[in-house]
């Protein structure tokens, strides 16, 4: 359906795929170099289309899109326009339940071109919330999962996934909900939940050569997570401790998700991790801490990126996919 790829600008030549929603993000891959991709696929017939600057693909249940907006002018207005276009597309197509946003913007910790006193991430949050309000969407409660990371340069890049089925937002009891952050973090709070749980159960999966049965697929999208307890950054200048605190937060989110599903199907070792590292020299300490908690076989991609707060050295997001055979009485 679509994908997101990470590499530095030198490795992006020729990587674009015609008519395919594929976000190329200017973030160097820290292990192995080259290009690292996340590709989303569907078992159903997929159609590709474009509306304005948005390239998107969709099947009967799900839509994946990518929007690239040149960063010229005030970031608040650029961001508001970008999200307004996305919301208009989703409403028009009937995919009104947003699973996940991936947001990437240049110089996230810098001052805005029009207002040097206001950090660009805070300008982004202003524009994002303005678009949510203008479209009649909630700015608290059941919000999509999301991340927002900084690149060295390039357009405002937003990838998104949405569907026709309502989702279930997950919060972390160790953290204040991001949409409730006090004004010290900006005039508008970030508009996202700590995680989003999506259930898809209307497709038959061939489990054996002779047995065709209905299964329920669940997607757990864990937002960009960092060393924040309550609303405050913890462990300033200590990347190992920040990594440990981040993993504790992710574990708390998984615990909350498993309480919602009542099946205990998600675990730390099942997740696919993407790790955003501010300083490449911190990679050994981050990897060592993750190996200590997760073991040596965890699945992760490490990329260099700026984090939304200047005092954060690492941010980790994660995704899990679970497929469970339904009891016969549930679909008889």
Task: Find tokens 């390039």 and name the residue.
Answer: 154
Query: Measuring CA to CA, how many Å separate 327 from each of 216, 318, 323?
Result: 10, 29, 13
Name the helix (H) or strand (E) containing 131: helix 120-134
**How far is the CA of 219 from the CAs of 143, 169, 200, 207, 212, in angstroms?**
15, 12, 8, 19, 22
Residue that has been written with the tokens 């395919």 in this structure: 20
Task: Count how many Cα atoms sit within 13 Å of the Cα of residue 3 in the half-sphere of its side chain.
Answer: 17
Residues noted as catalytic: 315
109-113, long-range: CB within 8 Å, 24+ apart, which pairs? 109/150, 109/306, 109/308, 109/310, 112/74, 112/75, 112/76, 113/73, 113/74, 113/75
State how far the Cα of 198 lies from the Cα of 169, in Å rounded to an integer: 9
Q: Measure the CA–CA gap between 101 and 78, rounded to whole angstroms.
A: 16
| Whole-angstrom distance, CA of residue 228 vs CA of residue 195 | 15
Q: Provide the residue count of the chain.
A: 332
- Interacting residues of 40 by C-beta distance below 8 A, sequence separation 6+: 1, 2, 3, 64, 161
């Amino acid at each position: 359906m679509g994908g997101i790829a990470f590499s530095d600008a030198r490795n992006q030549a020729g990587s674009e795929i015609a008519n395919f929603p594929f976000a190329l993000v200017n973030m160097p891959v820290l292990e192995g170099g080259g290009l690292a991709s996340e590709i989303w696929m569907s078992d159903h017939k997929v159609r590709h289309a474009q509306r304005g600057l948005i390239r998107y693909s969709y099947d009967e249940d799900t839509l994946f899109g990518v929007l690239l907006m040149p960063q010229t002018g005030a970031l608040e207005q650029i961001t508001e326009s970008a999200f307004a276009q996305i919301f208009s597309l989703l409403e028009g197509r009937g995919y009104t339940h947003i699973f996940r946003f991936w947001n990437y913007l240049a110089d996230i910790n810098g001052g805005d071109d029009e207002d040097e006193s206001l950090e660009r991430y805070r300008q982004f949050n202003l524009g994002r919330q303005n678009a949510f309000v203008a479209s009649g969407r909630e700015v608290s409660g059941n919000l999509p999962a999301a991340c927002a990371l900084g690149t060295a340069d390039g357009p405002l890049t937003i990838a998104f996934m949405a569907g026709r089925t309502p989702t279930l937002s997950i919060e972390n009891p160790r953290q204040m909900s991001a949409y409730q952050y006090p004004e010290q973090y900006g005039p508008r709070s970030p508009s996202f939940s700590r995680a989003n749980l999506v259930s898809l159960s209307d497709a038959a999966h061939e489990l054996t050569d002779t047995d065709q049965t209905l299964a329920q697929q669940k997607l757990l999208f864990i937002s960009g997570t960092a060393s924040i307890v309550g609303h405050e950054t913890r462990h300033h200048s200590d990347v190992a401790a920040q990594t440990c605190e981040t993993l504790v937060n992710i574990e708390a989110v998984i615990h909350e998700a498993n309480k919602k599903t009542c099946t205990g199907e998600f675990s730390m070792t099942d997740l696919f991790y993407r790790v955003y590292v501010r300083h490449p020299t911190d990679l050994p300490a981050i990897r060592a801490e993750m190996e200590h908690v997760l073991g040596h076989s965890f699945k992760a991609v490490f990329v260099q990126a700026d984090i939304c707060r200047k005092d954060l050295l690492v941010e980790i997001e994660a995704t899990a996919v679970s497929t469970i055979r339904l009891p016969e009485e549930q679909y008889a």
